[in-house]
Amino acid sequence: MAINAMNPQAKFRRSPPTWTAILCALLLLPVAALGGGPTCPADRSDQRVVSAKVFDGDTLALTDGRRVRLLGINTPEIGHDGEPTEPFAKEAEELLRRLAGAGARLRLRLDKERFDRYGRLLAHVFRDGGDNLQARLLGAGYATTLVVPPNEWSMGCYAAVEALARKRRLGIWGLAAYQPVPAATLADSARGFRLVTGRVQRVGESRGNLWLNLSRHMAVRIPKDDLAYFAELDPRQLAGRHVEVRGWIHKRRGELRITVRHPAALTLLD
């Protein structure tokens, strides 16, 4: 499901984890785990539940009537109302159904936010035997990481799983649409989720946002409300740096834009 499935107006803030700490944590993963990809085990279990139905690759229903949106990832969209189904959306849905279909006993690990704007419970979901469903989808190449602050649990581990699938060109990572594209070559009609690269030509500032201009017609918007998460990557110091950003492209006031709310969506390439 797309990013608007999450609450973009979250006001809860806390000090962000350091990226140095995240890197150290990844280096300490067991060698066996690294061989097949990190497994991202739960540090606790907050609720035990039973699945009733899988709606798509990152949403399911429980027998108690609640709907759950898997945190930390985003899977391709299944088309509705005449919209086309995105590549690997059905594969993601089928994998989640095999892992967590009707009757499956699951454990939920909650994060900072409890519900999204649609009333769905937000949770990291595990099979009763311990499998992290987010990691399974990422490892198959059926999902991208999605960090929506303040929900940051396991983001370093999820990023490591995604990186391995990306290196192996599994699932979506074998598609042209998921390969990085230079900002200067983006078509004016570009929309949807993309990875965009470019050198920051200018850093601008408005009342509520910082702006990184990657080309004459492409800008990255960073809300000032989210700057607490950028303690180790100050956007104001990125002029001249080569970066990769990820997110959903839209057009506003004649230019293409991507909103970045967390440094997990912004990578330095030099």
**Which residue ranges form the domains of the chain, and what is each CATH number?**
16-173 (2.40.50.90), 180-268 (2.40.50.140)
Spatial distance between the Cα atoms of 208 and 260, rounded to a whole number of angstroms: 13
**What counts of helices (H) and strands (E) characterise the chain?**
5, 15
Q: Rounded mean pLDDT of 188-193?
A: 94
pTM: 0.85
In this predicted structure, what is the pLDDT of residue 37?
74
pLDDT digits (tens, 9 = 90+) for 238-258: 999 999 999 999 999 899 999
Spatial distance between the Cα atoms of 127 and 132, rounded to a whole number of angstroms: 7
pLDDT digits (tens, 9 = 90+) for 96-146: 999 999 999 999 999 999 999 999 999 999 999 899 999 999 999 999 999
Spatial distance between the Cα atoms of 38 and 229, rounded to a whole number of angstroms: 24
Spatial distance between the Cα atoms of 202 and 207, rounded to a whole number of angstroms: 17
